[in-house]
Each structure stands twice: as structure tokens, then as C-alpha cells.
Amino acid sequence: EGDILYSKLRPYLRKVALPDFSGLCSADMYPLIPNTDIVTRDFLALALLAPPFTQYAVENSDRNAMPKINRPTMLGYRMKLPSIEVQREIVSKVKQIQTKADKITALQNKAALEMELFQSALLAKAFRGKL
């Protein structure tokens, strides 16, 4: 609880989790405990998902068949951190945008389903000669 889980395998897949419970994780994940004096948990999670870190992780991965970033390399990544207040503002804005994107996706899915149902009904009528 309060940790960030980062999957060290195939960093190009950008797998980050923010569990809200205590537990154990796979050996294929790094549990990270943010220093909340300098970085918020949510901001660090966003940073781990951002293209600059992903590029760093991919470029510094070991192994070819199943790329993996090792802990010292991961912890060697450096970035400038805005103030905690600015971090919170950034996270808030990203969450607002994500909420809007989720609503748009839901509307698109609903419209696609309605279109599919309409087409099926229309074709059924056409084949029965009821148009």
C-alpha cells in the first residue's frame, strides 16, 4: 500500500500498478516506495509511463529475447522534478483528461454496438423482403 509496482520485463509495454492494499508481488516487478518529500506517488507513476522513461528503459534493457531493465539501471534514471504542488496539478489535469477519454471511448463503443445492431436488423429485413 503506497508503493508503485513496475514490471521490469519488456519495459516497452509500460506496465505500472498502484495497488491500494498490502501484499506480495512477482519477482518480475520492482516495488518502488516514493520519497514523498520530493515526489508524489501518482506523479512518479506517470513519469514511469512517460515516453522519456520508457525510451531510457528500453535502450538500457538487458537481453534480447525478453528485454529486462535491471534495478541499478532503473534507479540510475534522472529527471527534474517540479514542486509537489505542480506535481499534484499535473496529476489532476491528466486524470481529468483520462476521464474525458474514457467517456469518449465508452460513447464510441456504444455507437459501434448500435451500428452493428442496426445493420443486422436492416440486413435481416432486406433478406426477408420487408424493406
Q: Residue 23's Cα: distance from chain center in Å?
A: 21
Give the C-alpha separation, 100 to 95, whole Å.
9
Q: What is the pTM of this model?
A: 0.81
Q: What is the DSSP string of the chain?
A: ---EEEE-BSGGG--EE--SS-----TTEEEE---TTT--HHHHHHHHHSHHHHHHHHHT-B-SSS-B--HHHHHT-------HHHHHHHHHHHHHHHHHHHHHHHHHHHHHHHHHHHHHHHHHHHHTT--
| Set of cell numbers at residue 98 | 483520462
Tell me: the pLDDT tens digits for 83-99? 999 999 999 999 999 99
Average pLDDT rounded to a whole number, residues 100-115: 98
Q: What integer pLDDT is reported at residue 63 of this predicted model?
A: 79
Place of cell 521490469: 8
Mean pLDDT of 110-119: 97
Q: What is the predicted pLDDT for the residue at 65?
A: 83
Element (H, E) at 5: strand 4-7
Is the pLDDT at 103 greater than 90? The verdict is yes
Mean local confidence (pLDDT), 44-65: 94
Residue with cell 506517488: 41
| Residue 4 pLDDT exceeds 90 | yes
Average pLDDT over residues 106-113: 98
The average pLDDT across 50-73 equals: 93
